[in-house]
Amino acid sequence: MVDFNETLWEIDEHTKAKHTILDKYLKAWFPILSKKSSTLVYIDGFAGPGEYKGGEPGSPIIALKAALEHKHKDKFKKIAFWFIECRDDRCEHLRNKIASLGDLPSNFHVEVTCGRFDEELSKILDELEREGASLNPTFCFVDPFGYTETGGPKILGKILKFPKCEVLLTYMVGFMDRGAYDPDKCKTICREWDFSEEDINKIINTKSMESREMQWIDALKNKLIKASGSDLRHLAFCVKGYNNRTLYYLVYFTKHIKGIEVMKEAMFKTGKTGQYKFSDYNFKQTNLLDYSNELWQNECADIIYEHFRGSIQKTEDVKNWVILETPYIWRSGILIKLEEEGKITRVIGRPRRFTYPDNAYIEFK
Ligand SMILES: C[S@@+](CC[C@H](N)C(=O)[O-])C[C@H]1O[C@@H](n2cnc3c(N)ncnc32)[C@H](O)[C@@H]1O
């Protein structure tokens, strides 16, 4: 049994999956946003000690290394890493782990704050509000053990209000879904996420578990849309435990299609089914999705054709449709397949055969 009271605890397979997603995403996020912004902010609001019992790196070290070991790191401008952790022993361990990385480049600004995420964020966000200032492009990782202390829509919504700010949340759907029948836990859930008891009753009276899980996510998204006043998009990665029960969803909220595109790549490559599901239960039995296997591309080609047959579309619109409306990631090879099968009859505005620039027009048979 893992003891979460010790300074360090043992890592499990689903945490490794979470870390893989974080690592893959940040390796893309740092260079993309560095091109456009003079300062990027990475907040890890529930940072932990930076290490697991077996020596595996914790999320703060994964984030630092994603930037530090990046092949384009010399082109990065300022990156401010802000790690918040409420326990003194874990803060101290984290500071030592960061020190063990050696001298960091001068454009890396690292701060470990021993405090509570909601209180620390409130201070900064209130100050920005008073000054009428904006938050720099920020990726905020919110990774609590349970479903409380995140600051809920009040804090997360305020972060999402700013342009180019996004949130990756460990959202304890499984625990909430099982706990919501208990009146005390139901009150706690309502307080945390600003849900009404009516919202919760509607969810827990739905029979299908999968549909309840989607409703938990939608309910939160609606609260965040209201609190941020922004048109949010989201992606969710389901994490199951050894008994194949849902533990939590890793939910990513952003306002930008590019963010969805990049996070989808990270989740797709980490998941096995292409539907962003990862389960410790399956882990023992199957290998990770063979990403080079082209079967998923055939399925994606079929649904593109079903959706667009008989029409002319801009490549960019087809691509965005795949990114936003299907479980698949984007590969231009999918269009090559359709063209070879005669399902694309013409492409207007391209330099060479079998190329599909964003602004070219594709005629579907
Ligand atoms: C799930 S662990 C974080 C693991 C870490 N993100 C990782 O992936 O390596 C949650 C951490 O949040 C800390 N914590 C709990 N409540 C907190 C709060 N209100 N504010 C900040 N940290 C908190 C806990 O002490 C614990 O270290």
69 secondary structure, DSSP code? T
Query: What is the Cα–Cα distance from 365 to 350, expressed in whole angstroms?
Result: 18
Residue 283, number of CB atoms within 10 A of its CB: 18
For the four alpha carbons of 320, 324, 327 and 329, in that order, the dihedral sign comes to positive
**Which residues make Cβ contacts (< 8 Å) with residue 88, sequence separation at least 6?**
114
Is a pLDDT exceeding 70 seen at residue 273? no
Tell me the average pLDDT across 278-302: 66
With contact defined as beta carbons under 8 Å apart, do 173 and 218 qualify? no
Tell me the average pLDDT across 51-65: 98
Helices marked H in 167-236: 173-179, 183-193, 197-204, 209-228
Tell me the average pLDDT across 131-137: 89
Short-list 44, 76, 80, CA closest to 62 = 44
Identify the pLDDT of residue 303: 95
Q: Hey, whose CA ends up nearest to atom 20 of ligand 1?
A: 116
Task: Report how far ligand 1's centroid is from the alpha carbon of 18 (Å).
Answer: 14
Lookup: tokens for 27: 């390796």
Q: Hey, whose CA ends up nearest to atom 8 of ligand 1?
A: 59
Measured in whole angstroms, how far is the alpha carbon of residue 85 from the centre of its chain? 20
Q: How many residues does the chain have?
A: 365
With contact defined as beta carbons under 8 Å apart, do 349 and 359 qualify? yes
Identify the pLDDT of residue 244: 79
Residue 244, number of CB atoms within 10 A of its CB: 10
Q: Hey, whose CA ends up nearest to atom 27 of ligand 1?
A: 48
Task: Report how far ligand 1's centroid is from the alpha carbon of 17 (Å).
Answer: 17
Q: Ligand 1 pocket test: pick from 3, 22, 46 the residue with the most ligand atoms within 8 Å of its Cβ.
A: 46
Q: How sure is the predictor about 289, in pLDDT bands with cuts at 50, 70 and 90?
A: very low
Is a pLDDT exceeding 80 seen at residue 11? yes
Query: What is the Cα–Cα distance from 365 to 358, expressed in whole angstroms?
Result: 20
Stretch among 280-289, 304-313, 347-356 having the lowest mean pLDDT: 280-289
Tell me the average pLDDT across 65-85: 93
Return the SS3 of 12: coil
Short-list 180, 208, 190, 85, CA closest to 148 = 190
Stretch among 47-51, 287-291, 325-329, 341-345 having the lowest mean pLDDT: 287-291
Query: What is the Cα–Cα distance from 68 to 64, expressed in whole angstroms?
Result: 6
Tell me the average pLDDT across 63-69: 96
Q: To which residue do tokens 């990049």 refer?
A: 262
Is a pLDDT exceeding 90 seen at residue 190? yes
Is a pLDDT exceeding 90 seen at residue 286? no
Stretch among 10-14, 171-175, 237-241, 343-347 having the lowest mean pLDDT: 237-241
Q: Hey, whose CA ends up nearest to atom 12 of ligand 1?
A: 46
Q: Ligand 1 pocket test: pick from 25, 86, 150 the residue with the most ligand atoms within 8 Å of its Cβ.
A: 86
Tell me the average pLDDT across 141-149: 96
Q: To which residue do tokens 């969810």 refer?
A: 203
Tell me the average pLDDT across 167-196: 96
Q: Provide the angle, in degrees to the nearest 10, between the axes of the packed helices 333-340 and 295-308.
A: 70
Tell me the average pLDDT across 69-87: 93
Q: Hey, which bits of the chain come out as E strands?
A: 39-44, 78-85, 108-114, 138-142, 165-171, 233-240, 246-254, 277-279, 312-314, 344-348, 361-364
Lookup: tokens for 50: 């930076």
Tell me the average pLDDT across 262-283: 76
Task: Report how far ligand 1's centroid is from the alpha carbon of 12 (Å).
Answer: 16
Calculate the average pLDDT of the chain: 92
Task: Identify which has the larger pLDDT, 235 or 276.
Answer: 235
**List of long-range contacts for 212-215, beta carbons under 8 Å, 24+ apart:** 212/177, 213/173, 213/177, 213/238, 213/246, 213/249
Query: What is the Cα–Cα distance from 216 to 34, expressed in whole angstroms?
Result: 34
Tell me the average pLDDT across 32-59: 95
Is a pLDDT exceeding 80 seen at residue 279? no
Is a pLDDT exceeding 80 seen at residue 274? no
